[in-house]
Structure 1
Amino acid sequence: MAARYGRPTGWAEEGKRSTFPTPSKGSLLRPRPSSSAPPFLGQGSFYPSSSEDERAITLRIHSQAEKRRRERINSHLSTLRRMIPNSNKMDKASLLGRVIEHVKDLKRKAVDASTISMIPTEANVVTVESDAGYQNTFSLNDDNLYIKASLCCDDRPDLFAELIEAFRRLRLRTIRVDSSSLGGRIRNVFLLCRKDSTGSVCLNSLKESIKEALDRVASVDMVPSNAFISKRQRLLQPRFPSSNISL
């Protein structure tokens, strides 16, 4: 009888109880990473990217440019405050508005200067008028009265002393004087100011008083050494440039 060869009957049971891991059963242990390698922290979390550096540099350049721009603006505003009286406590909008009015007034005065000659005339001439343009430009909250007075007469050494004394008696303060002389004749244009805090000063009466005072100064009986020089001879004499005096 041929012998049957087969595996022992206990092998199946032993295989079922086998403790060796198989690829389909159990888990394999992974090797521990080396301690010298840096841990993985995710993309962009260990070193800053180049785009962030460029953004920071751009912001810093923009901040510095803005700072320089503000410094230039403040410097220009300080210059304007020095040009406009009583503007230390003004805000920027009010200051710019005052500067605009000042420029308009200067333009108006330039037009007036081009139409009104400062050459002295042969006859004595006195004119007095209120200067509302100066008051509106420089003194919005001012209670002063501003008057422009013009006098054309013979030139003499004591003329200015007499004019200053006449203005002092009327309690007037001289702000500016434009003067020109030619051939023994002189023309003076005064910008005068008087305090009127109570509003009791009558502008028309004040203008009339100034005109009377200037008429008296212009009509002083005095025969100058060149009284008989003709008009043509005066024009041929050297002409002195006009002067501008601020008091």
Structure 2
Amino acid sequence: TDKASLLAEVVHHVRELKRQVEDVGRRDRDGCCSNSRPELDTSWPFPGECDEATLSFCDEGGKLLKATICCEDRPGLNHDLSRVIRLVQAKVVRAEMTTVGGRTKSVVVMQWSGDEEQVGPLKRALKDVVENRVSRLAQGTGSKRARVFGSNSETGHGFLVG
């Protein structure tokens, strides 16, 4: 084979791999917990380049919730994430974490006792974890007074960090 045909074959192969990666990424965004058994969920396990926090229901009864965060890896990230989960009194069913090149993706499936109206504050709290605001909010100026975390000015809903 000549160089031109070899190059054409490589380009074709790279395009095919790129298409497969896009398909997997699309399935990750669209599929959430599409299976009735979360342990069978197969999604892209690696962190992306964008910081994000997503939250979605995994079952029709709204009792299983999947939280996915993707951000720069940092000390205290898991502590902040577990603090948010404790604050909403959810029970972790499954947790996966992947760190590659200084970026982390954490996927947590939890039993949720709240209703859909309470998801907004949880989503904001997860966004605060991604943006590394939880530790700073909790540390504050050293005051022992509890602070409202992830509050919504319209509803007043939030979580206390003490």
Residue 120 (structure 1) aligns with: 47
After the TM superposition, which residues 89-238 of structure 1 pair with which residues of structure 2 at under 5 Å, given as runs? 105-106=36-37, 110=40, 112-113=41-42, 116-132=43-59, 145-195=63-113, 201-203=114-116, 205-220=117-132
Aligned partners of 1:191 and 1:109: how far apart in 2? 10
User: 1:210 Cα shift?
Assistant: 1.8
Question: TM-score normalized by structure 1?
Answer: 0.36
User: 1:202 Cα shift?
Assistant: 2.6
Size of the aligned set, in residue pairs, is: 99
Aligned partners of 1:170 and 1:109: how far apart in 2? 23
User: Deviation per CA, 1:122-155, whole angstroms, max 9, x where unpaired?
Assistant: 111111111117x6xxxxxxxx821111000111
User: 1:194 Cα shift?
Assistant: 2.8
User: 1:109 Cα shift?
Assistant: 6.1
Where do 4+ consecutive residues of structure 1 move more than 6 Å? none
Mark the structure with the bigger radius of gyration.
Answer: 1
User: Deviation per CA, 1:2-42, whole angstroms, max 9, x where unpaired?
Assistant: xxxxxxxxxxxxxxxxxxxxxxxxxxxxxxxxxxxxxxxxx
**Percent of aligned positions that are identical:** 23
User: 1:208 Cα shift?
Assistant: 1.6
Alpha carbons 1:148, 1:191 under 8 Å: kept: yes
Alpha carbons 1:129, 1:207 under 8 Å: kept: no
For structure 2, list consecutive stretches of 5 or more residues without a partner in the other structure.
1-34, 134-162
Residue 244 (structure 1) aligns with: none
- Secondary structure of 2:112's aligned partner: strand
For structure 1, list consecutive stretches of 5 or more residues without a partner in the other structure.
1-103, 136-143, 196-200, 222-247
- Secondary structure of 2:46's aligned partner: coil
- Secondary structure of 1:209's aligned partner: helix
